[in-house]
């Protein structure tokens, strides 16, 4: 009898001593609005159902509904650098968009900063880099964040825009096959992967593989892309970037490629600063289909 009691109690004991089940993740706003531009922390879906993507949302005054702009940040293959990355804001670009009536979401992707988790957009080693897979993984993360925000009553359901930077721009190119009614335009600042191979300027990992991947993305592209690169970008120099854009265009993608003036000491980061955004403002307005007079007016 004692043995029987022990056998009955064992499952209960196992249940009581088991580690607690992870709390269900919750999405939406987290905290009050603040300055600038009604800045607010948000949690949006990620490919990992147990992890929320930490994000910043900015909004113009009023109730909306507003057009949505999603900014996809740059990345790095270095895990330590990713973990130490502060939450991206793109303040000057955000100010530009807010002044033109957009709500702006800047989601932090898996494997970065406070979001953490597995880095799903890993391209692999230099010689065997899989740029198609990494770009599509980034596109998936952008798409999940965008789709969640489109369900909010203060966001318009149509005519969103995606603005990607570097690896974020590469993911935006992979997203060009999305519904053009949901996403009306993509603007990519120096899109690519594998730049500064082995930390060497003007060296790209497996450049022919990157060119082939750009062509692959162009095959199914339905959304027009504005492709911008600074004259002094040493990650994806204008000549190489033009080759990528031509590969994307040659397989069916619609691209407006523009080389912008040199910006700061390293043009790859131009979109992160006020001077760079000001230099790109005309092309941004064109890509967003905004009247030029509005785009050049001071906020």
pLDDT in tens, the chain (299 residues): 444 443 443 343 333 323 333 457 899 999 899 999 999 999 999 999 999 999 999 999 999 999 999 999 999 999 999 999 999 999 999 999 999 999 999 999 999 999 999 999 999 999 899 999 999 999 999 999 999 999 999 999 999 999 999 999 999 999 999 999 999 999 999 999 999 998 899 999 999 999 999 999 999 999 999 999 999 999 999 999 999 999 999 999 999 999 999 999 999 999 999 999 999 999 999 999 875 443 333 33
CA separation for the pair 146, 208 (Å, rounded): 31
Q: pTM of the entire structure?
A: 0.89
Strand partners, 28: 43
The residue written with tokens 């949302």 in the block is 57
164 strand-pairing partners:
72, 188
Query: Residue 88 and residue 288: Cα distance in Å, rounded?
Result: 22
């Amino acid at each position: 009898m004692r043995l029987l009691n022990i056998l009955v109690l064992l499952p209960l004991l196992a249940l009581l001593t088991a580690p607690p089940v992870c709390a269900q993740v919750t999405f939406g706003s987290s905290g009050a609005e603040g300055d600038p531009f009604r800045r607010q922390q948000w949690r949006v879906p990620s490919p990992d159902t147990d992890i929320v993507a930490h994000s910043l949302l900015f909004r113009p005054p009023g109730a909306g509904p507003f057009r949505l702009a999603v900014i996809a940040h740059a990345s790095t293959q270095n895990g330590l650098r990713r973990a130490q990355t502060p939450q991206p804001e793109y303040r000057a670009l955000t100010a530009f968009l807010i002044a033109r009536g957009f709500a702006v979401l800047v989601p932090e992707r898996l494997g970065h900063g406070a979001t953490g988790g597995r880095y799903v957009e890993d391209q692999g080693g230099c010689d065997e880099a899989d740029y198609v897979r990494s770009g599509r993984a980034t596109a998936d993360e952008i798409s999940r964040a965008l789709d969640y925000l489109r369900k909010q009553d203060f966001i318009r359901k149509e005519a969103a825009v995606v603005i990607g930077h570097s690896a974020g721009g590469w993911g935006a190119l992979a997203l060009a096959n999305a519904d053009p009614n949901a996403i009306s335009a993509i603007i990519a600042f120096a899109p690519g992967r594998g730049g500064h191979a082995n930390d060497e300027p003007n060296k790209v990992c497996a450049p022919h593989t990157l060119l082939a991947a750009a062509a692959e993305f162009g095959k199914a592209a339905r959304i027009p892309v504005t492709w911008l690169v600074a004259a002094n970008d040493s990650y994806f120099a204008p000549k190489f970037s033009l080759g990528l854009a031509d590969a994307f265009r040659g397989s069916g993608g619609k691209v407006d490629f523009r080389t912008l003036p040199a910006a700061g000491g390293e043009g790859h980061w131009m979109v992160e600063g006020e001077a760079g955004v000001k230099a790109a403002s005309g092309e941004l307005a064109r890509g967003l289909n905004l009247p030029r007079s509005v785009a050049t007016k001071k906020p």
